């Protein structure tokens, strides 16, 4: 089937803006994020006294620097991966983890797998950004030798 030049222009006028809208649906998680302990739920784990993340996100690249202070002292971590489903190896709590992140609509799904003392740990995070871009919620389903449980970390965008 051949299209006239005018018909092709009309198709492009419809398709290009639609594609731009789909791309715009993906949030940008860049910024300095501070945990809101009152809105978070750490389940069976003790809550941290401090948790912050600095995220640099230029889709598909994602870089995260985090600091957490709790019963075990201060833990710092840096990781980078992509949001296109490619597997990356990162350091997580002083051990290697395999991570895959990919978009599910406007939510980011981050799956990780690691081993500690011969035991496998998996996490399935779902990242959601509020409409105003000021609240980042990370719902986390964890499978460990001790069982399965969930946590919810709610961060507010800081300066």
Note the pLDDT tens digit of each residue in 72-125.
899 999 999 999 999 999 987 778 999 999 999 999 999 999 988 889 999 999
- Asked whether 101 and 83 are in contact (CB, 8 A), the reply is yes
pTM of the prediction? 0.82
> Per-domain residue ranges for the chain?
28-158
- Asked whether 123 and 141 are in contact (CB, 8 A), the reply is yes
* Whole-angstrom distance, CA of residue 156 vs CA of residue 148: 27
- For 147, the token pair is 């069982």
Q: Which CATH number fits domain 28-158: 3.30.465.10, 1.10.3720.10, 2.60.40.1180, 2.40.128.20?
A: 2.40.128.20
């Amino acid at each position: 089937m051949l299209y006239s030049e005018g018909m092709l222009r009309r198709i492009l006028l419809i398709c290009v803006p639609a594609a731009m809208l789909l791309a715009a649906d993906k949030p940008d998680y860049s910024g300095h994020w501070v945990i809101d302990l009152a809105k978070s739920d750490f389940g069976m784990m003790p809550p941290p006294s401090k948790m912050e993340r600095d995220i640099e996100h230029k889709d598909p690249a994602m870089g995260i620097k985090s600091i957490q202070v709790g019963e075990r002292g201060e833990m710092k971590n840096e990781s980078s991966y992509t949001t296109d489903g490619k597997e990356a190896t990162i350091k997580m709590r002083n051990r290697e983890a395999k991570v895959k992140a990919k978009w599910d609509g406007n939510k980011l799904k981050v799956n990780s797998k690691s081993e500690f003392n011969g035991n496998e740990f998996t996490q399935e995070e779902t990242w959601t950004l509020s409409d105003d871009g000021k609240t980042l919620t990370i719902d986390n389903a964890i499978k460990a030798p001790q069982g399965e449980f969930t946590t919810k970390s709610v961060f507010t965008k800081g300066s």
